[in-house]
Amino acid sequence: MLRTKDATQNLFDDWAKTYTEDLQNAAGPLFGYKHSLEEACKMIQLSKGSTLLDVGIGTGAFAASLSDEGNEVWGIDLSENMLKECKKRYPTYILHQGTFTEPGLKDKIESFDVIASSFCFHEVLPDERQTACEKMYTLLKPDGKFLVLDIMFASQSAMNNARKQIGHYWDSTENYPLVQTLDEMLRHVGFKHISWKNTGPFHWAFSAQK
């Protein structure tokens, strides 16, 4: 059974204080977390003055790796406790509670040069993933970039092999995206220049342009 939104919120609220430290030695599907962040960051470069939105910003590690002092950084997260931890680390970030499907940024249509997300998209329920892509499309400026890093698999067979390899660390409450399925969603929404990168044993990243 897939985890509910409330259960996900509770999970990350409870995890917030140790989240950053725990991921330094991540196991299971998150194995290779740090290397994957570094590889995904190479896929896009923010110019000075760019506005970035990090969806599922957590404690802010991905946004901090992508941006510098010349960028305006916004972040949304389902977990209020994650946002509190992020604010402690990065007090200049503009933070709001929200999700891929309910970003809560109605006044920010076509406002962001880049929307990024790491290890969050798989929390979107499968039947809501196209809606999530559509929401991000509307928030991007024309020619804006969408960058997502997550636990994903090239095929169902690849996922089945990973399940065996990961063993008891596998989380049966998750439904991880497949590259082909998500690629088709992105193209249907209208994204172009889609590029994929296998960043780790269980991780893929894509960049796409509006």
Interval 53-112: pLDDT, tens: 999 999 999 999 999 989 999 999 999 999 999 999 999 999 999 999 999 998 999 999
Question: Which amino acid would we find at residue 188?
Answer: H
Length of the chain: 210
Q: What is the DSSP string of 80-141?
A: HHHHHHHHHH-TTSEEEE--SS----GGGTT-EEEEEEES-GGGS-GGGHHHHHHHHHHHEE
pTM summary value: 0.94
Fold designation for 5-23+32-209:
Rossmann fold (3.40.50)
Q: What is the pLDDT of residue 13?
A: 80
Which of 14-23, 32-41, 82-91, 100-109 is the least confident region?
Answer: 14-23
Confidence of residue 144 (pLDDT cuts 50, 70, 90): very high
Q: How far apart are CA 108 and CA 92, in angstroms?
A: 18
What integer pLDDT is reported at residue 66 of this predicted model? 97
For the chain, what is the mean pLDDT?
Answer: 94
> What pLDDT is attached to residue 62?
97
